[in-house]
């Protein structure tokens, strides 16, 4: 290969490299779930860039991506209850950066805004809520604590970031306090069971009394009906007849002075002579 051809090939290679370098420095790509901040010679643009492909000034403009996806981070808070018991709260905070706050957050906060804005305010909120309840109620009222913590944290953070949810993963008490709370809950459960048994026994006794009164009243009514209407007994006999032909023993043949009805057998078993 001649020196001229070699120099020409080297020149073409250098030109291609320069073109690739210029092309890469004049374009940018913002991934889905991100927004871009344009920084030109140290000056931040007042508007964020949407996701996708775009052009920029070469060598003087940088594009900084800001994640706006929903994210989850852990928070630990050492709290004290209203009865001065130490309680450790393990939380999960679900948050995201709204589009309207992307530029302000980049200008005013270094790194992940969770560490500098959300975490300390959530810790402060959970400590304020815990100080209003006893250690026992902190264990029992997790949902109420969660809602109050979210409300207080959102008020402290404002609209700069959005707290979607606060999940209480664990409430850690001292071993002595856990045993005391467990013993108290067992005692309350036993007392509740005893009250239920007492009410059940009383209800059964009242039911038996009412049933006995009803039966006595029914007997009295039947006795009055027999006394006032002797034919009532005959009606009851007919009503309870099972299809057997009765034999009537006249009063004159009965020493007790009353007619008797004696069954002779089923009607279909009677044969005419």
pLDDT digits (tens, 9 = 90+) for 53-83: 888 877 668 888 999 999 999 999 999 888 8
From its phi and psi, is residue 111 left (phi > 0), alpha (psi between -120 and 50) or beta? left
9 and 56, same domain (yes or no): yes
Q: What is the pLDDT of residue 95?
A: 95
Which of these three, 51, 67, 83, is where a domain ends?
A: 67
- The CATH number covering residue 89 comes to 3.30.479.30
Q: What is the pLDDT of residues 210-238, one digit of tens each?
A: 888 878 777 777 677 666 666 666 666 66
Which of these three, 48, 67, 86, is where a domain ends?
A: 67
Residues 70-77: contacts with CB under 8 Å, at least 24 apart: 70/94, 70/95, 70/96, 70/164, 71/95, 71/96, 71/114, 73/114, 73/118, 73/119, 74/169, 75/119, 75/122, 75/123, 75/126, 77/122, 77/123, 77/126, 77/127
Q: Is 190 helix (H, G, I), strand (E, B) or coil?
A: helix
Is 97 a domain residue? Answer: yes
Is 176 a residue whose pLDDT tops 90?
A: no
Is 32 a residue whose pLDDT tops 80?
A: yes
In terms of average pLDDT, the best of 39-43, 128-132, 189-193 is 128-132
What mean pLDDT, rounded, does the chain reach? 78
79 and 165, same domain (yes or no): yes
Do the beta carbons of residue 80 and residue 130 sit within 8 Å? yes
Is 259 a domain residue? Answer: yes
Is 162 a residue whose pLDDT tops 90?
A: yes
- Higher model confidence: residue 178 or residue 171? 171
Is 210 a domain residue? Answer: no
98 and 52, same domain (yes or no): no
47 and 87, same domain (yes or no): no
Q: What is the pLDDT of residue 273?
A: 40
Is 102 a domain residue? Answer: yes
Question: Nearest CA to 65 among 94, 93, 105, 108?
Answer: 105
Which domain, by its residues, includes 115? 71-179
Is 208 a domain residue? Answer: no
106 and 60, same domain (yes or no): no
Give the number of domains in the chain.
3
8 and 24, same domain (yes or no): yes
Which of these three, 24, 46, 67, is where a domain ends?
A: 67
Is 42 a residue whose pLDDT tops 70?
A: yes
Q: What is the pLDDT of residue 247?
A: 56
59 and 75, same domain (yes or no): no
Do the beta carbons of residue 247 and residue 267 sit within 8 Å? no
Please report the sign of the dihedral spanned by the C-alpha atoms of residue 129, residue 132, residue 135, residue 137.
negative
Is 56 a domain residue? Answer: yes
Name the residue with tokens 């900084």.
Answer: 64
Do the beta carbons of residue 186 and residue 163 sit within 8 Å? no
Is 202 a domain residue? Answer: no
- State the pTM of this model: 0.58
Is 195 a domain residue? Answer: no
In terms of average pLDDT, the best of 139-148, 168-177, 230-239 is 139-148
Q: What is the pLDDT of residues 237-273, one digit of tens each?
A: 666 666 665 555 555 544 554 555 555 455 444 444 4
129 and 162, same domain (yes or no): yes
Least confident piece of the model among 109-123, 171-185, 243-257:
243-257
């Amino acid at each position: 290969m001649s020196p001229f051809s070699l120099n020409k090939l080297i020149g073409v290679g250098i030109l291609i490299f320069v073109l690739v370098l210029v092309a890469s420095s004049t374009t940018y790509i913002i991934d889905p779930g991100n927004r871009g901040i344009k920084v030109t010679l140290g000056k931040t643009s007042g508007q964020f860039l949407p996701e996708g492909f775009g052009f920029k000034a070469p060598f003087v403009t940088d594009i900084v991506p800001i994640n706006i996806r929903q994210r989850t981070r852990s928070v630990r808070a050492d709290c004290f209850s209203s009865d001065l018991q130490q309680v450790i709260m393990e939380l999960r905070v679900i948050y995201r950066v709204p589009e309207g706050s992307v530029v302000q957050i980049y200008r005013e906060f270094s790194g992940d805004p969770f560490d500098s804005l959300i975490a300390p305010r959530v810790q402060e909120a959970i400590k304020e809520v815990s100080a209003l309840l006893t250690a026992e109620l902190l264990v029992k009222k997790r949902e109420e604590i969660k809602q109050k913590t979210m409300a207080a944290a959102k008020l402290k953070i404002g609209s700069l970031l959005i707290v979607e949810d606060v999940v209480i993963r664990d409430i850690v008490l001292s071993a002595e306090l856990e045993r005391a709370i467990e013993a108290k809950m067992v005692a309350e459960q036993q007392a509740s069971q005893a009250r239920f048994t007492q009410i059940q026994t009383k209800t059964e006794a009242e039911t038996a009394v009412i049933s006995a009164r009803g039966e006595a009243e029914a007997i009295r009514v039947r006795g009055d009906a027999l006394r006032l209407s002797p034919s009532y007994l005959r009606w009851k006999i007919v009503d309870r007849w099972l299809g057997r032909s009765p034999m009537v023993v006249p009063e004159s043949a009965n020493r007790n002075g009353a007619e008797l009805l004696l069954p002779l057998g089923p009607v279909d078993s009677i044969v005419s002579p």
